[in-house]
Amino acid sequence: MKLSGNLKKMKTELTTPVNYELPLDNELVPLNPLLGKTIQLKFSGDIHCVHCGRKTKKSFSQGYCYPCFITLAQCDKCIVRPEQCHFDKGTCREPDWGQTHCMQPHFVYLANSSNIKVGITRHTQIPTRWMDQGAIQALPILKVASRFLSGLVEIQIKQYVSDRTSWQKMLKNQVEEIDLNQKAGELLALCKDGLSNIEHQFGEKAIEFLNDEETVPIQYPVSEYPIKVKSLNLDKTPEIIGTLLGIKGQYLIFDIGVINIRKYGGYRVEIGL
Protein backbone atom coordinates (compact mmCIF):
# COMPACT_ATOMS: atom_id res chain seq x y z
CA MET A 1 0.00 0.00 0.00
CA LYS A 2 1.36 3.42 -0.97
CA LEU A 3 0.19 6.87 0.07
CA SER A 4 1.49 10.25 -1.01
CA GLY A 5 1.11 13.87 0.01
CA ASN A 6 2.78 16.85 1.64
CA LEU A 7 4.00 16.38 5.20
CA LYS A 8 2.83 18.37 8.19
CA LYS A 9 3.67 17.87 11.84
CA MET A 10 2.12 14.79 13.36
CA LYS A 11 -1.22 15.11 15.12
CA THR A 12 -1.34 13.81 18.69
CA GLU A 13 -3.96 12.70 21.18
CA LEU A 14 -3.21 12.30 24.89
CA THR A 15 -3.99 8.64 25.37
CA THR A 16 -1.86 5.91 26.97
CA PRO A 17 0.32 5.77 25.00
CA VAL A 18 0.04 8.96 22.91
CA ASN A 19 -1.86 8.34 19.68
CA TYR A 20 -0.14 9.64 16.53
CA GLU A 21 -1.47 10.40 13.06
CA LEU A 22 0.59 11.63 10.10
CA PRO A 23 -1.10 14.24 7.88
CA LEU A 24 -0.57 13.76 4.15
CA ASP A 25 -2.52 16.57 2.51
CA ASN A 26 -6.10 15.89 3.63
CA GLU A 27 -5.51 12.31 4.74
CA LEU A 28 -4.48 11.19 8.24
CA VAL A 29 -2.33 8.06 8.45
CA PRO A 30 -2.63 6.20 11.81
CA LEU A 31 0.93 5.51 12.98
CA ASN A 32 0.61 3.54 16.20
CA PRO A 33 -0.53 0.37 14.38
CA LEU A 34 2.61 0.54 12.22
CA LEU A 35 5.03 -0.09 15.11
CA GLY A 36 7.25 -3.06 14.28
CA LYS A 37 6.53 -2.81 10.56
CA THR A 38 8.84 -1.83 7.70
CA ILE A 39 8.06 1.57 6.21
CA GLN A 40 9.38 3.24 3.07
CA LEU A 41 9.52 7.05 3.13
CA LYS A 42 10.45 8.58 -0.24
CA PHE A 43 10.89 12.33 -0.86
CA SER A 44 9.81 13.37 -4.37
CA GLY A 45 11.99 16.49 -4.44
CA ASP A 46 8.99 18.85 -4.36
CA ILE A 47 8.34 21.22 -1.45
CA HIS A 48 5.13 23.23 -1.02
CA CYS A 49 4.62 25.99 1.53
CA VAL A 50 2.52 24.77 4.46
CA HIS A 51 0.67 28.10 4.48
CA CYS A 52 0.02 29.16 0.88
CA GLY A 53 0.83 25.95 -1.00
CA ARG A 54 3.34 27.69 -3.29
CA LYS A 55 6.10 25.46 -4.66
CA THR A 56 9.46 26.43 -3.19
CA LYS A 57 13.02 25.25 -3.64
CA LYS A 58 13.81 25.72 0.04
CA SER A 59 11.76 25.47 3.19
CA PHE A 60 12.00 28.17 5.86
CA SER A 61 10.98 27.87 9.52
CA GLN A 62 9.76 24.28 9.16
CA GLY A 63 7.73 24.50 6.02
CA TYR A 64 7.19 28.07 4.76
CA CYS A 65 8.19 29.62 1.44
CA TYR A 66 10.32 32.75 1.67
CA PRO A 67 7.52 35.29 0.96
CA CYS A 68 5.42 33.77 3.77
CA PHE A 69 8.45 33.55 6.03
CA ILE A 70 9.08 37.30 5.83
CA THR A 71 5.44 38.43 5.94
CA LEU A 72 3.53 36.12 8.32
CA ALA A 73 3.29 37.00 12.01
CA GLN A 74 3.68 33.32 12.89
CA CYS A 75 7.19 33.46 11.39
CA ASP A 76 8.31 36.67 13.14
CA LYS A 77 11.20 36.65 15.62
CA CYS A 78 8.83 37.27 18.53
CA ILE A 79 7.43 33.75 18.11
CA VAL A 80 10.79 32.45 19.34
CA ARG A 81 11.32 35.36 21.74
CA PRO A 82 7.86 36.32 23.02
CA GLU A 83 9.29 39.05 25.24
CA GLN A 84 10.01 40.92 21.99
CA CYS A 85 6.32 41.03 21.05
CA HIS A 86 5.58 44.38 19.39
CA PHE A 87 1.80 44.10 19.04
CA ASP A 88 1.19 47.07 21.37
CA LYS A 89 3.47 49.21 19.18
CA GLY A 90 1.18 48.69 16.20
CA THR A 91 3.87 46.95 14.16
CA CYS A 92 2.56 43.36 14.21
CA ARG A 93 2.79 41.82 10.74
CA GLU A 94 -0.79 40.56 11.02
CA PRO A 95 -2.74 42.32 13.79
CA ASP A 96 -5.78 40.02 13.44
CA TRP A 97 -3.57 36.94 13.77
CA GLY A 98 -1.74 38.50 16.71
CA GLN A 99 -5.02 39.26 18.44
CA THR A 100 -6.18 35.67 18.02
CA HIS A 101 -2.91 33.90 18.85
CA CYS A 102 -0.79 36.22 21.00
CA MET A 103 -3.21 38.45 22.86
CA GLN A 104 -4.78 35.40 24.47
CA PRO A 105 -4.20 33.57 27.77
CA HIS A 106 -0.89 31.73 27.91
CA PHE A 107 0.45 29.21 30.39
CA VAL A 108 3.95 28.98 31.80
CA TYR A 109 4.76 25.35 32.50
CA LEU A 110 7.45 22.98 33.70
CA ALA A 111 8.12 19.89 31.62
CA ASN A 112 10.43 16.92 31.88
CA SER A 113 11.66 15.86 28.47
CA SER A 114 15.45 15.47 28.75
CA ASN A 115 15.48 17.17 32.15
CA ILE A 116 13.37 19.84 33.75
CA LYS A 117 12.63 22.82 31.49
CA VAL A 118 10.40 25.86 31.51
CA GLY A 119 8.16 26.66 28.58
CA ILE A 120 5.17 28.70 27.48
CA THR A 121 2.18 27.85 25.35
CA ARG A 122 -1.17 29.23 24.33
CA HIS A 123 -4.08 27.85 26.34
CA THR A 124 -5.38 25.99 23.28
CA GLN A 125 -2.07 24.11 22.86
CA ILE A 126 -2.25 22.17 26.13
CA PRO A 127 -1.32 19.28 26.13
CA THR A 128 -0.26 19.27 22.44
CA ARG A 129 2.85 21.34 23.12
CA TRP A 130 4.09 18.87 25.73
CA MET A 131 3.66 15.85 23.46
CA ASP A 132 5.41 17.65 20.59
CA GLN A 133 8.42 18.13 22.89
CA GLY A 134 8.51 14.52 23.99
CA ALA A 135 7.92 15.39 27.65
CA ILE A 136 7.15 12.50 30.00
CA GLN A 137 5.70 14.90 32.59
CA ALA A 138 4.30 18.41 32.48
CA LEU A 139 2.79 20.87 34.92
CA PRO A 140 1.24 24.30 34.25
CA ILE A 141 2.35 26.65 37.02
CA LEU A 142 1.27 30.15 35.96
CA LYS A 143 -1.37 31.72 33.73
CA VAL A 144 -0.94 35.14 32.13
CA ALA A 145 -3.03 37.30 29.81
CA SER A 146 -0.76 37.38 26.73
CA ARG A 147 2.22 35.86 24.99
CA PHE A 148 4.29 38.93 25.81
CA LEU A 149 3.72 38.49 29.55
CA SER A 150 4.50 34.78 29.33
CA GLY A 151 7.85 35.69 27.78
CA LEU A 152 8.66 38.09 30.62
CA VAL A 153 7.81 35.42 33.20
CA GLU A 154 9.81 32.77 31.35
CA ILE A 155 12.88 35.02 31.46
CA GLN A 156 12.68 35.04 35.25
CA ILE A 157 12.40 31.26 35.57
CA LYS A 158 15.01 30.32 32.99
CA GLN A 159 17.65 31.95 35.15
CA TYR A 160 17.44 28.71 37.12
CA VAL A 161 16.31 26.02 34.65
CA SER A 162 16.75 25.59 30.91
CA ASP A 163 14.11 26.46 28.34
CA ARG A 164 15.47 23.87 25.91
CA THR A 165 15.24 20.12 25.37
CA SER A 166 18.20 17.90 24.54
CA TRP A 167 16.54 15.98 21.73
CA GLN A 168 19.18 13.24 21.81
CA LYS A 169 18.59 12.51 25.51
CA MET A 170 14.84 12.72 24.95
CA LEU A 171 15.01 10.12 22.18
CA LYS A 172 17.30 7.84 24.18
CA ASN A 173 14.79 8.15 27.05
CA GLN A 174 17.60 9.18 29.36
CA VAL A 175 15.24 10.93 31.73
CA GLU A 176 14.02 10.24 35.25
CA GLU A 177 10.77 11.36 36.81
CA ILE A 178 10.86 14.62 38.78
CA ASP A 179 8.55 15.99 41.45
CA LEU A 180 7.42 18.95 39.37
CA ASN A 181 5.16 20.38 42.09
CA GLN A 182 8.05 20.56 44.51
CA LYS A 183 10.32 22.03 41.85
CA ALA A 184 7.69 24.63 40.97
CA GLY A 185 7.57 25.78 44.58
CA GLU A 186 11.34 26.13 44.69
CA LEU A 187 11.52 28.06 41.41
CA LEU A 188 8.68 30.43 42.22
CA ALA A 189 10.35 31.24 45.54
CA LEU A 190 13.59 32.03 43.73
CA CYS A 191 11.73 34.23 41.23
CA LYS A 192 9.53 35.99 43.78
CA ASP A 193 11.09 39.44 43.34
CA GLY A 194 11.12 39.28 39.55
CA LEU A 195 7.50 38.14 39.38
CA SER A 196 6.50 40.85 41.85
CA ASN A 197 8.10 43.45 39.60
CA ILE A 198 6.04 42.19 36.65
CA GLU A 199 2.87 42.40 38.75
CA HIS A 200 3.80 45.89 39.87
CA GLN A 201 4.28 46.99 36.27
CA PHE A 202 1.26 45.28 34.69
CA GLY A 203 -1.14 44.90 37.61
CA GLU A 204 -1.86 42.34 40.29
CA LYS A 205 -3.91 40.26 37.87
CA ALA A 206 -1.07 40.00 35.35
CA ILE A 207 -0.02 36.65 36.80
CA GLU A 208 -2.28 33.91 38.13
CA PHE A 209 -0.54 31.31 40.29
CA LEU A 210 -1.87 27.81 39.61
CA ASN A 211 -1.56 26.04 42.95
CA ASP A 212 -3.97 23.15 42.41
CA GLU A 213 -2.71 21.71 39.13
CA GLU A 214 -1.53 18.11 38.97
CA THR A 215 1.42 16.79 37.00
CA VAL A 216 0.36 15.24 33.70
CA PRO A 217 2.17 11.95 32.93
CA ILE A 218 2.78 11.14 29.25
CA GLN A 219 3.72 7.81 27.71
CA TYR A 220 4.83 7.23 24.13
CA PRO A 221 4.42 4.34 21.68
CA VAL A 222 8.01 3.10 21.69
CA SER A 223 9.07 -0.54 21.65
CA GLU A 224 12.82 0.19 21.64
CA TYR A 225 14.78 3.38 22.26
CA PRO A 226 18.03 3.99 20.32
CA ILE A 227 21.33 3.61 22.16
CA LYS A 228 22.95 6.00 19.70
CA VAL A 229 20.89 8.62 17.90
CA LYS A 230 21.46 8.94 14.15
CA SER A 231 19.49 11.69 12.43
CA LEU A 232 18.00 10.90 9.02
CA ASN A 233 17.84 13.71 6.44
CA LEU A 234 15.43 13.64 3.48
CA ASP A 235 17.52 16.21 1.58
CA LYS A 236 20.58 13.96 1.72
CA THR A 237 18.81 10.60 1.73
CA PRO A 238 15.50 11.01 -0.12
CA GLU A 239 14.51 7.37 0.36
CA ILE A 240 14.37 5.86 3.83
CA ILE A 241 13.44 2.24 4.49
CA GLY A 242 13.38 0.98 8.05
CA THR A 243 11.43 -0.72 10.81
CA LEU A 244 9.39 1.69 12.92
CA LEU A 245 10.41 1.18 16.57
CA GLY A 246 8.64 4.13 18.13
CA ILE A 247 7.30 7.67 18.01
CA LYS A 248 8.20 10.38 20.49
CA GLY A 249 7.86 14.13 20.24
CA GLN A 250 7.74 14.82 16.51
CA TYR A 251 10.24 12.06 15.76
CA LEU A 252 9.80 8.71 14.07
CA ILE A 253 12.27 6.22 15.54
CA PHE A 254 13.48 3.63 13.03
CA ASP A 255 16.00 0.84 13.44
CA ILE A 256 18.30 2.82 11.11
CA GLY A 257 17.90 6.26 12.70
CA VAL A 258 15.40 8.96 13.62
CA ILE A 259 13.64 11.64 11.59
CA ASN A 260 12.05 14.87 12.78
CA ILE A 261 8.81 15.06 10.79
CA ARG A 262 8.18 18.68 11.76
CA LYS A 263 11.45 19.71 10.12
CA TYR A 264 10.15 18.54 6.75
CA GLY A 265 6.83 20.35 6.66
CA GLY A 266 5.69 20.81 3.07
CA TYR A 267 7.90 18.03 1.67
CA ARG A 268 5.98 15.82 -0.75
CA VAL A 269 6.59 12.18 0.09
CA GLU A 270 5.38 8.74 -0.83
CA ILE A 271 4.92 6.28 2.00
CA GLY A 272 5.01 2.57 1.36
CA LEU A 273 3.35 0.45 4.03
The pLDDT tens digits of the residues spanning 24-75 come to: 998 999 999 999 999 999 999 999 999 999 999 999 999 999 999 999 999 9
**Nearest Cα to Cα of residue 225 among 249, 246, 256, 252:** 246
Please tell me whether residues 77 and 155 are part of one structural domain. Answer: no
Total domain count, the chain: 3
Q: Which domain holds residue 161?
A: 104-217
Give the pLDDT band (50/70/90) at residue 204.
confident
Q: Examine the pLDDT at 214 and tell me if it is beyond 90.
A: yes
Which residue, of 217, 242, 263, is where some domain finishes?
Answer: 217
Instruction: Judge if 229 and 143 occupy the same domain.
Output: no
What is the phi-psi region of residue 47: left when phi exceeds 0, alpha when psi lies from -120 to 50, beta otherwise?
beta
Clarify whether residues 110 and 199 are in a common domain.
yes
- Helix (H, G, I), strand (E, B), or coil: what is residue 207? strand
Per-residue pLDDT tens digits for 145-194: 999 999 999 999 999 999 999 999 999 999 999 999 999 999 999 999 99
Residues 228 and 177 in one domain: no
